[in-house]
A and B are shown apart, each in its own frame.
Chain A
Amino acid sequence: MSGRANVINRVVLALLGLLLVAAGGLGLALSLKVFGSGRATRPVLPQEVSTFPDARPWFWWALAGVLLVIAVLALLWLLTQFKSDRATRLDRTTNARDGYTTLHAGALTDAVEDEVQGITGVTGVSARVREHRGEQVFLRVELADSADIGEVRTRLENDVVAHVREGVGDPRLPVTIELRPSASTTPRRSVR
């Protein structure tokens, strides 16, 4: 799931939660006579409310419109759950009049994985390009328990990152490296 979806989920859940707490709390306050015992004994759906739409035929169509808007928003929210922030290509176009240049993310990540796999102490690696506040490369590196973490980090940050940025032609391309120190010393194949 993308980080954006996570933020959207938390915001929508918080809003729905607040709405339910407010509605339920207000109703409970009414039923517990906080607003007077007269109101507590009134029907949940008073006559004036249930007959309100009778003289106003537009009411039900307005309600249908509101429900359609809610349905569209719910559909968008549902689709957000299945969105990934993984990018399949990087746009390297400098001037659209001269043509478009794209770089397949797979070509980049394969090259990065091959280079990282060659570092002593690395037992597995997976790389991907993410589209989250701009393009960024995400590297997941599995380390043997005996790995010299300082040395691996130096190679990753000084060599691999420099080569990625050079390959993409962006000296400021953000790179995230997740190290996975392991308890096992047995080398493994790529975790991709």
Chain B
Amino acid sequence: MRATNWVTRLVAALLALAILLGSLLGVAEIVAAALGRAPAVVPYPKWTGWLRTHSWNDGLVKAVLAGLVVLGLLLLLLAFRRGKPASLALRSDTDGVAVTASRRNLEKSLAAAAARTTSIAAASASVSRRTARVEARTVAPSEPGVREAVESAVRDRLESLGLERRLRTRVDLTTKDTR
């Protein structure tokens, strides 16, 4: 599951719980009022009194309204955010069989492929829907052909998987600090 989905799930669970408790509390207050009892939990006479005496251009009212807009925008962002894919589709010739590659494992695999290249001390990789980006540290500065070698290793690894959508590869080289 994507990290985005975990956040969405947590927010959804908290919101659902809040709405559930709020609605039940509302029903309890209505029943209590019908029975002529004082407010059980929510001091609504105080709240309605405040709302009757404050106008729309009151500073606190504006702040609450702005807060509602911000909260709404955050929920919309959560609802429409795509995030990084959990897996990438691979080509499959068998009917009814979908083959994918886990993004995280693909990143580790690309980093390992890059790190095995001569003159590379260490490497890390990140994969998005369209791009595979590799950051590699070279042992010695400005060795010719290192970038091409890393790019070739990364491309070979991607080719061996047979991704349905070809990824752009981007290699960033830095020199290892030998001090």
Contacts and interface: CB of A to CB of B under 8 A. Distances in A.
Chain A complexes with chain B: yes
Interface of A: 1, 5-6, 9-14, 16-25, 27-28, 30-33, 39-47, 50, 60-61, 63-64, 67-68, 70-71, 74-75, 77-78, 80-81, 140, 142, 145, 149-150, 153, 156-158, 161, 172-183
A141 to B, nearest CB: 10
Given A178-B87, A179-B90, A71 B72 contact: no
Interface in B1-45: 1, 5, 8-9, 11-13, 15-17, 19-20, 23-24, 26-27, 30-31, 33-34
Nearest to B80: A14
Given A10-B8, A13-B78, A45 B51 contact: yes
Contacts of A44: 51-52, 54-56, 58, 61
A63 B94 contact: no
19 contacts: A6-B9, A13-B75, A13-B76, A16-B72, A17-B74, A17-B75, A23-B72, A31-B65, A43-B52, A61-B30, A71-B23, A71-B27, A74-B17, A77-B19, A145-B109, A172-B95, A173-B96, A175-B97, A180-B102
A20 B69 contact: yes
B9 A177 contact: no
Contact of B13 (A63, A64, A71, A78): A78
Nearest to B6: A1
Contact of A179 (B11, B52, B100): B100
Contact of B72 (A19, A75, A150): A19
B109 A28 contact: no
Nearest to A165: B96
Interface string B91-108: 011111111111001101
Contacts of B161: 149, 179, 181
B178 interface: no
A63 to B, nearest CB: 7
Main secondary structure of the interface of B (DSSP, over half): helix
Nearest to A178: B100
B68 A23 contact: yes
B65 A27 contact: yes
Given A68-B23, A157-B92, A78 B17 contact: yes
A21 B76 CA distance: 9
A190 B9 CA distance: 28
Given A157-B97, A181-B109, 16 more contacts: A1-B5, A14-B76, A16-B15, A17-B78, A21-B76, A23-B68, A24-B71, A24-B72, A27-B61, A28-B62, A31-B57, A40-B57, A43-B55, A74-B23, A145-B109, A173-B96
B100 A41 contact: no
Contact of A182 (B19, B67, B79, B109): B109
B111 interface: yes
A89 to B, nearest CB: 21
Contact of A70 (B11, B19, B74, B79): B19
A81 B96 contact: no
A172 B96 contact: yes
